[in-house]
Amino acid sequence: MNPAKTIDYAKLFDLSDRVALVVGGGSGIGQAGAEGLAALGAKLIVADVVEPDAHGVAERIRAAGGAATALHVDVRDTASVETMIANVMRQHGKLDFALTTPAVNLRKRLLDYSEEEFDRVVELNLKGTFRVARVCARPMMERKRGSMVLMSSIRALNVEPGQSIYASTKAAIAQLTRGLAVELGPHGVRVNALAPGIVATPLTQPITSNPVWNEAYAKRTALGRWAEPEEMAGPIMFLASDASSYLTGTTIFADAGWTAIDGRFEPQLKT
Ligand SMILES: NC(=O)c1ccc[n+]([C@@H]2O[C@H](COP(=O)([O-])OP(=O)(O)OC[C@H]3O[C@@H](n4cnc5c(N)ncnc54)[C@H](O)[C@@H]3O)[C@@H](O)[C@H]2O)c1
């Protein structure tokens, strides 16, 4: 380190004047990420297929003193994704950060999956992520800077019955992240993935509404509990900021130890 150089470390997290797009920002982890990024000074574009939800989150951000607008997007539709990025560029002229969250989990055993169901999950989770990453990469590459976060999951590493197809898309997204990082790195663009554990959102409502399943999942973590969506905001804010300037192609597991624990057996240990 150069002793003559003084670094304002607190500034590393400053997102003032940064333009941040959150696709899927109308709910859950996307909403928390959008609100967190705005709190660090970013100008937010909240995009979602449920337009009133996107507007609601943008309104919450403005009410808290931040800057945000809302857009409709359907990540299953290439034209819609292209229109979204055109609107972002028209409004702001640049894009510093993008997070994309939309995904569906159809919990069924592999042999019960129809091809239509397979296509539905892969189309939204994997191809939707690809579409958003592709349109966001272009303006970032032109400016030779930018950061993207794609949503993986603990399911990229381990599965349970009924999770095969969802888990496959989440593993694919971790690999898409690596591939993009390799290709975009020379252009100054970073790409990382976030792999949450169990977060109480509409996506996981079928689990949290089942007391036995809910409790079993909580116990499976080292911290013994579910996450609130806002607990995913920290890693998103970090990956958006210059505090993570040397991170690319990695997956951050925010899982309360889910993937650290090897099974559920607690051995009796001598003191
Ligand atoms: N909640 C968890 O426990 C958990 C765990 C691991 C990974 N994840 C991942 O985190 C991400 C977000 O999950 P969440 O729990 O916040 O879900 P969520 O359902 O609360 O939010 C997803 C958002 O995406 C939007 N969306 C859905 N389809 C869309 C489309 N076609 N186009 C645009 N927007 C669309 C929804 O309207 C919603 O606002 C997902 O990728 C999920 O796989 C979640």
Does residue 120 carry a pLDDT above 80? yes
Backbone dihedral angles phi then psi of residue 71, each to the nearest 5 degrees: -140, 150
Give the pLDDT confidence score for residue 265 in this predicted structure: 77
Does residue 258 carry a pLDDT above 90? yes
Most distant CA pair in the chain: distance in Å?
Answer: 66
Query: Is residue 48 classed as helix, strand or coil in its secondary structure?
Result: strand
Residues with CB under 6 A from ligand 1: 24, 26-30, 48-50, 53, 73-76, 101-103, 124, 151, 153, 196, 198-199, 201-204
- Cα(143) to ligand 1 centroid in Å equals 29
When mean pLDDT is compared across 110-114, 215-219, 259-263, the lowest value belongs to: 259-263
Burial of 219 (0-12, 13-18, 19+ CB in 10 A): exposed
Cβ atoms within 10 Å, residue 71: 22
Pocket test for ligand 1, best of 27, 60, 124, 220 (most atoms within 8 A of CB): 27
User: pLDDT tens digits, residue range 193-247?
Assistant: 999 999 999 999 999 999 999 999 999 999 999 999 999 999 999 999 999 999 9
Query: Ligand 1, closest atom to CA 25?
Result: 39
User: pLDDT tens digits, residue range 86-106?
Assistant: 999 999 999 999 999 999 999
- Cα(213) to ligand 1 centroid in Å equals 20
In the residue annotation, 246 being an active-site residue is answered as no
Catalytic-role residue among 9, 113, 166, 217: 166
Does residue 250 carry a pLDDT above 90? yes
Give me the residues paired with residue 43 across strands: 19, 67
- Cα(271) to ligand 1 centroid in Å equals 45
User: pLDDT tens digits, residue range 126-181?
Assistant: 999 999 999 999 999 999 999 999 999 999 999 999 999 999 999 999 999 999 99
State the number of CA atoms in the 13 A half-sphere of 17 facing the CB: 1
Query: Ligand 1, closest atom to CA 154?
Result: 6
Domains of the chain: 15-198+229-254 (3.40.50.720)
- Cα(25) to ligand 1 centroid in Å equals 9
Secondary structure (DSSP) of 166-206 = HHHHHHHHHHHHHHHHHHHGGGTEEEEEEEE--B-SGGGHH
